[in-house]
Amino acid sequence: MAMSYLSVIERYREHYADVVPLLESLIHSLVAQSDWPGNVNKAVAQVCRCYGFAELVYVLNAQGIQLSANIQADGHIAPGRGVNRASRPYFIAIADNQSAVVMTEPYISLASGNLCVSVLTSCTLAEHKQGYAVVDVNLVKLIEYIMGDRSRGRFSGAFKVGYSVIVVSLFTLVLVLVYNVGLEIMDLLANLNNVSDPLRPFGIIIFITLALSIFDLGKTILEEEILMHKDIFRHSSTRRTITRFISTILIAVSIEALLTMFKASLGQGEFTIPALLMMLSVIGLLIGLGIYVYLGAKAELMLVEAQQRRSKE
């Protein structure tokens, strides 16, 4: 699953100090090409080979009129020539400070539909006229580049297939358990007056609890690993997955302990000690989970505060 826009923007803010010089070098590399601006396509291709997150390039004149088409990183040409961009905030900012490299806030590109930022600087056009070079940067690819996370994305499809097979297997097992439970319930109702074992309903509840636990586990894997984006660089993401997994186990063990206690109260005293041990296990898991969540959240808070201090220095 691709990174959510909120996660991308958060990472962008966090690493802004590292992003700025990188994007400045990108735009300066573009305008420094020997073929610029005569052969824009060749210059764009050369820069995009080095900066894989560059998405779109176009040129404006001094009045903010787009002189070139939208040149995509793969060499394709998109419409855009002649569009007046003088009212855009980035053009107003660059017009007020000719020597600066201007970067926009993150926004959704109308050309690609991706989350991006635009970076532009002044340049010399034909006949020594002043103009501006603009590069749209794919923000998701930029963050992946900064975080060193580009290779993992190539295998995400295979990972999802593996998790999907596991989830389907778990849900199939749940259906088998539910089917068997249904047969047991029907048989129990059909012979309601001839029930010889008063503990038989508890056996059915055990299978229902097992089906519930397996279903919860499959649902957790489906949501955490397939449907939702999981930021492996955030401890909170891993902590959320572990918390949900342990919570599923806690519910299952708690129900089993309660059923075992009921069996003991109905005359089967040999279940008393196992029931108490399971209750103690539940308490131990709950305490351990609470300590883990508390310490994990505290450690992450300390890490965020340290990053904020470094960004201010």
Claim to verify: residue 87 and residue 159 sit in the same structural domain: no
Residue with structure tokens 């890490």? 303
Residue with structure tokens 């069996």? 263
List pLDDT tens digits, range 260-287.
887 777 777 787 888 888 889 889 989 9
What's the mean per-residue pLDDT of the chain? 81
How many domains is the chain partitioned into structurally? 2
SS3 279: helix
List pLDDT tens digits, range 225-251.
777 766 666 667 777 778 888 887 888
**Is residue 84 scored above 80 in pLDDT?**
yes
Which has more pLDDT, 81 or 148? 81
Q: Structural domain of residue 118, as residue ranges?
A: 5-146
* Amino acid symbol at 181: V
Residue finishing a domain among 81, 115, 146: 146
List pLDDT tens digits, range 27-71.
888 888 766 667 777 777 777 777 888 888 888 888 888 888 888
Claim to verify: residue 294 and residue 170 sit in the same structural domain: yes
Claim to verify: residue 129 and residue 19 sit in the same structural domain: yes
Claim to verify: residue 130 and residue 163 sit in the same structural domain: no
pLDDT for the residue 40: 72
**pLDDT interval class at 88 (50, 70, 90):** confident
Claim to verify: residue 209 and residue 303 sit in the same structural domain: yes
Claim to verify: residue 124 and residue 264 sit in the same structural domain: no
Residue with structure tokens 């009045």? 63
**Is residue 166 scored above 70 in pLDDT?**
yes
Which residue, 115, 265, 295, 280, is CA-closest to 198? 265
- Give Rg (Cα) of the chain: 30
Average pLDDT over residues 141-155: 76
Residue with structure tokens 């400045």? 24
Exposed e or buried b for every residue in 190-220, given b needs 16+ CB within 10 A? eeeeeeeeeeeeeebebebbbbbbbbbbbbb
Claim to verify: residue 268 and residue 237 sit in the same structural domain: yes
Which residue, 76, 57, 34, is CA-closest to 119? 57
The pTM of the whole model exceeds 0.75: no
